[in-house]
Structure 1
Amino acid sequence: MMIARFALPLLLALGLSAQGAAQTRQPIEPVDIPPSVEQGVDMIYVDPEIAPEVGERDALLKDLALKADDPGAPVDLFLPVHPLYTDLRRGLVRYRMTWGALPDVVIPEGPPLKPGAAGERVALLRERLGLSPGTRYDAVLANAVRDFQGVHALKADGVAGPGTIAALNLGPDHFERLLLVNLERARRLPAESDAGRYILVDAGAAQISLYENGKAVDSMRAIVGSAKTPTPMMAALMRFASVNPYWNVPPDLVKTLIAPKVVANGLPYLEEREYDILSDWSDDAEPVDPASLDWPAIAAEGTSMRFRRRPGPWNSMGRIKFMMPNDYGIYLHDTPDKSLFAAEDRWISNGCVRVEDAERLATWLFGRMPEGSDPKVEEQVDLEDPVPVYITYMTAAPTADGGVLFRADPYGRDPALIARYFGADGGDASDIALATP
């Protein structure tokens, strides 16, 4: 049985956490995002107050896996878990009963198959989707293709193009393994029975959910890290907000955007855009005279100096930053450009999380939108009770009708995880006990 090959290695290897020391100082950009213990599955636990509950649960899960008469029994029958875990486990049951039970036949590559097509490839497509034998691409087949596409993160147009054929040829075991990987991610989230409030950021969906007493009470869209600067999987305590914040400019933008503008337009550009220049990234950095700098050299080679934009409506941080002190410079923040939240591609940030409705989030946290005494001065507003923030990465989600919906993998993490935990050939997911931990 595959339990020893997948479940126990994950229990024993992924039950660990990478704890960073909690920092009281305000983190600064840019960020050098480190890998967690098992990149793509595990979390970095910044604050020790958050990690022990997960660690204790992992210890109990190890004991269950090693001692229980049925180590493949669903975890949520023994221990409290996040509702996402329970819903995904149910989705796995349904997936195995529907898509997992279909014939696993290979369809040769070729031109897109669409209504009206005929031939041997159409016959194999019909067989793969469990339809009656035939060689014609009829309305029944188009509907079956559309249903498959809707579940498997494909454009549901009823046309079996190269992407759809490739997904079908991966076979049901591949997608069952994806569900098992996502179950591991969900297992690292707070249990439904955990009291209090917390924020869940799903970088896989670019979505923020607000939880109270184990239940989601609100949600909004987010903009998260790009594939080059991914938002890390981590957990930390939100301790305060910065009202009317500065924006510390990432060095690559200093090189590619600010310095060329200064070269082209002169030093007045800096004052017009309200940029300050500091000697370094430390707390006691000194102001730097822009006239003393070699701007063509900065445009060509960059600089280690710190550029920041003063508070204001044009500031990329918007009106407020939600701070969870950590060594990785990750936080949630407002943004003046709300139009980007309407886009499907919201994986475009430098790693931090932009919030669709910062005022609504602030009101949930503070009971009001904090206002500073001076719009040109950054001020810190402490939370009376710190609120945990969990940042995960889900590439599969449960649906309201008990099924599952696969998503794109914008950070490209899933193939390596499947190869690592199931072997080069992917193993046999049908042999894995239902919802093993």
Structure 2
Amino acid sequence: MPAATPAAGAVASGRTRLIHAAFRARRLGRAHSLVPALIAGLLAVAAAPAPVALAQGKAVGDAAKSSVAAEIRAGVSGKYKDFYAPRGYWPLWVEKDRIGPQADALLALIAQSDADGLNPRSYGGRDLEKLIEAADSEGTPKALARADLALSRAFADLVADMRRPARGVKIRYLDAELDTKPPGPADIVRAASLAPSLTDYIQSAGWMSPLYMRLRAARAGYMDKWGGLPAVQIPPDVKLRPGGKVPEIALLRHRMGLSDGVAYDKALVAKVKAFQTDHGLKPDGVAGAMTIGALNDGPARYEHLLALNMERARLLPGPWTRHVVVDAASARLYYYSKGAMDGTMKVVAGAKESPTPLMAGMIRYATLNPYWNIPTDLVERKVAPKILAGGSLKSMRYEALTDWTADAAPLAQSAIDWRAVASGQGEVRVRQLPGGSNAMGRIKFMFPNDLGIYLHDTPQRDLFAKEDRHYSNGCVRLEDAQRLGRWFFGKTPTTDSDAPEQHEPLPQPVPVYLTYLTAVPTATGVQFLPDVYGRDGN
């Protein structure tokens, strides 16, 4: 990171004014809107040209840091020594002879940590300010070392609390390595030190999922937009539309924060459409039963939903971890690496009767030319009736097997009591042969689990054009399995033959998280989605 060059007094003075503004704004409830401007201002102060030339060469800067390192070595202890010792006690927060702008980013994040359900006072922001000001004004190695150590401790405490296990959210971890174990202070600070820009890493909270951070911002925006409007109840049995003159329109106008009256005018239409868009409703400008129900729920209900979804997103890793996220509520998939989202695509998720579970596992291999092992309930409801009506397994490209083991032998259709299967009195394993019509498509990505859940290709391309994409038996059908395969393997996965079930291990296992976000960030704020699986509660 380039070293800051302005005079120490100017930096300290500008930093102090802006940080004090952040803490004042937080007390006034305006920290969310101020923080981006605050950070921009801090960086502008740090980058302002000095009145006199103070540029120092790299050797001089390294010599100054070397003196700070000696002081850190003398003062560090406990778990933080595990971080500083391997790097020769080199400071993390010092740039030449002053504390760098990454400290300002940390102070700003602390100031708004109430958005994460935390108490900003727990991280000693005032004390950090004083240490930073002393380090900038004195410029001594001891003062800089003291500030560096204090900043590392505050940073590690904040990150650990932000990454705490989610409250009230149950997710099944298939691999012990994915379970939410609190990271140690040395691990937290070491991860930050490896980021290309520590300032950017802190500003974006790079240890948190981007979905979490976007929901965090959307929650503040939602309350600014809708939280302060009057809590007026509207009769649920009316339908209010443009051009109407019924008395209930006056209640609707009041609820939407508009002037008194009974006119369902353009202003009210625009307000209703905006509310409908943000609440996952058809934006037609008509206040029908669903819109009035959402209005009567009030902002408290939606703030609760935002908080609940933030807790779900809290379980997801940051973008520096190479991983895949499947959001079953919105039926979308995201994949991340190297600090950014690499791509997204539509998916088909489980139907209401067969929901995609909340789970996390390691995708370890791909299977090309896969079979589809048909769930026994579908064999009972779909396959057996067709056989009883005169159909054949061969014509449907199915085959029956003796059991569920890897060594199962083919079973003749005539050897099966299909009436018992159709009535639920018997059970048989049936699978679909590989090919263009196979329900798995050409490839599936496996993270071994006893529920038979995986990501896979599909020939049913028409489903991706639908707004509601909850049709599967729990598995996740991919809009572009080949693209995801190229991301996994670095090339398009191919086979040398038509042989079924060809397994190809990934170069490196990749975590996949199946989550359920019924509040999703949008370009303009947040949208609430239908709770298809009934997991949000009342």
Q: TM-score, normalised by structure 2?
A: 0.64
1:81 aligns with 2:208: yes
1:310 aligns with 2:433: yes
User: Superposed, which structure 2 residues align to 1:195-274 within 5 Å?
Assistant: 195=321, 197-266=322-391, 269-274=392-397
Q: Give, in angstroms, the shift of residue 383 of structure 1.
A: 0.7
1:408 aligns with 2:535: no
- Measured against aligned partners, the alpha-carbon deviations of 1:298-354 in whole angstroms (never above 9, x if no partner) come to 222253321111111111111001011122211000011111111112111000000
Contact 2:417–2:426 under 8 Å retained in 1: no
Distance 2:184 2:467 in 1: 36
4+ residue runs over 6 A deviation: 14-17, 75-79
Distance 2:222 2:500 in 1: 54
Q: Give, in angstroms, the shift of residue 15 of structure 1.
A: 6.3
Q: 1:149 aligns with which of 269, 276, 280?
A: 276
Distance 1:303 1:320 in 2: 31
Flag structure 2 segments of 5+ consecutive residues without an equivalent. 1-115, 119-159, 187-201
Of the structure 1 ranges 159-168 and 254-263, higher mean CA displacement relative to structure 2 is found in 254-263
1:331 aligns with 2:478: no
Q: Give, in angstroms, the shift of residue 410 of structure 1.
A: 1.0
Question: What residue identity is the alignment partner of 1:227?
Answer: K
SS in 2 for 1:172: helix
Instruction: Return closer, same or farther for 1:339/1:359 CA change in 2, 3 Å cut-off.
Output: same
User: Superposed, which structure 2 residues align to 1:11-410 within 5 Å?
Assistant: 41-51=169-179, 54-56=180-182, 80-192=207-319, 194-195=320-321, 197-266=322-391, 269-301=392-424, 303-401=426-524, 403-410=525-532
Distance 1:407 1:163 in 2: 13
Q: Give, in angstroms, the shift of residue 212 of structure 1.
A: 1.1
Contact 1:143–1:158 under 8 Å retained in 2: yes
Question: Which structure carries more helix by proportion?
Answer: 2
Question: What residue identity is the alignment partner of 1:276?
Answer: E
Aligned alpha-carbon RMSD (Å)? 2.6
Q: Give, in angstroms, the shift of residue 59 of structure 1.
A: 11
Distance 2:184 2:244 in 1: 53
Of the structure 1 ranges 285-294 and 232-241, higher mean CA displacement relative to structure 2 is found in 285-294
SS in 2 for 1:371: coil
The higher-RCO structure (CA 8 Å, 6+ apart) is 1
Q: Give, in angstroms, the shift of residue 274 of structure 1.
A: 2.4
Aligned length: 366
SS in 2 for 1:415: coil
Q: TM-score, normalised by structure 1?
A: 0.78
Structure (1 or 2) with the larger CA radius of gyration: 2
- Measured against aligned partners, the alpha-carbon deviations of 1:204-263 in whole angstroms (never above 9, x if no partner) come to 110011111231111110001111111011111100000000110111221122111111
Q: Give, in angstroms, the shift of residue 89 of structure 1.
A: 1.4
Q: Give, in angstroms, the shift of residue 290 of structure 1.
A: 1.8
Contact 1:82–1:214 under 8 Å retained in 2: no
Q: Give, in angstroms, the shift of residue 414 of structure 1.
A: 0.8
Contact 2:206–2:339 under 8 Å retained in 1: no
Identity over the aligned pairs, expressed in percent? 46
